[in-house]
């Protein structure tokens, strides 16, 4: 019984931590978003494994100029 209870408590604590971190982030402008976008675009030209990461970064930086 103790093992089941311990597992449930661990699962509940992990779920709480995951859900609390998944909340909306504060909308703060990224300083120098234009410069960072240029660097991300240069990284995207390399291609390969970095393509999904650079796509995500480009989308984040282009959204309302980094906000």
Q: Residue 2, SS3?
A: helix
Mean pLDDT of the 3-12 span = 74
User: pLDDT value at position 65?
Assistant: 54
User: pLDDT value at position 9?
Assistant: 72
Q: For residues 60 and 40, is the Cβ–Cβ distance under 8 A?
A: no
User: pLDDT value at position 25?
Assistant: 59
Q: Nearest CA to 45 among 57, 36, 54?
A: 54
Q: Residue 49, SS3?
A: helix
DSSP state of 47: -
Q: Nearest CA to 38 among 58, 53, 59?
A: 58
Per residue in 18-64, pLDDT (tens digit) is: 666 655 655 666 777 888 888 888 877 777 777 888 888 888 888 76
């Amino acid at each position: 019984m103790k093992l089941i209870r311990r597992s449930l408590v661990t699962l509940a604590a992990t779920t709480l931590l995951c859900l609390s971190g998944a909340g909306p982030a504060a909308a703060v402008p990224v300083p120098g978003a234009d410069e960072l976008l240029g660097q991300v675009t240069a990284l995207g030209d390399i291609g390969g494994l970095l393509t999904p990461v650079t796509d995500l970064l480009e989308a984040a930086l282009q959204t309302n100029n980094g906000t």
